[in-house]
Amino acid sequence: MPFQKLATESDLPPLDEAKEFSCGDKAICIANVNGAYSALDNVCPHRGGPLGQGMIDGGKVVCPWHGWAWDVKTGAATQDSRMKVAVYPLKIESGDIMVEI
C-alpha cells in the first residue's frame, strides 16, 4: 500500500513523547525518541492499551495500562521479545507526515 498522510509536522509529539493518530480504521502511535520519529500500531498486544498515550523511557514506548515497553524500531516487547507490535515506514514530505500501513 502506498504512503498516506497521517498528520502535519506541527502535529508531531515533542521530544521523547508519544502521540496517537487515526489513519482510516487504524490507530497509529508516533514516538519521538531522541528526535527520531517512529510509527507503530497504537494497540498494545498485551492487553489492548493505547501506546500513543504512554511515555518514552529508555528509548522505548511504554504502555500506560500495564507498563509493557516496546522497541520503536523493531516493535519487540522488552518483557517478551516474541511479542511484537507492527512498525510502519514513516517519512516527512513537504511538511506532511506520511506512513505506509
Query: Nearest Cα to 72, choosing from 18, 23, 4, 7?
Result: 18
Cα 20 to Cα 24: distance, rounded to the nearest angstrom: 13
Convert the pLDDT of each residue in 31-83 to its tens digit: 999 999 999 999 999 999 999 999 999 999 999 999 999 999 999 999 998 99
Res 92: pLDDT: 95
Convert the pLDDT of each residue in 7-34 to its tens digit: 999 999 999 999 999 998 999 999 999 9
CA 19: distance to chain centroid?
A: 7
Instruction: Evaluate the CA torsion angle 64, 70, 73, 76 in order and state its sign.
Output: negative
User: Which grid cell is 14?
Assistant: 515533542
- Domains of the chain plus CATH, in order, are 4-99 (2.102.10.10)
The DSSP secondary structure of 13-47, one letter per residue, reads PPTTEEEEEEETTEEEEEEEETTEEEEEESB-TTT
Res 81: pLDDT: 87
Please compute the mean of the pLDDT values over residues 86-97 and round it to a whole number. Answer: 96
Res 93: pLDDT: 96
Res 21: pLDDT: 97
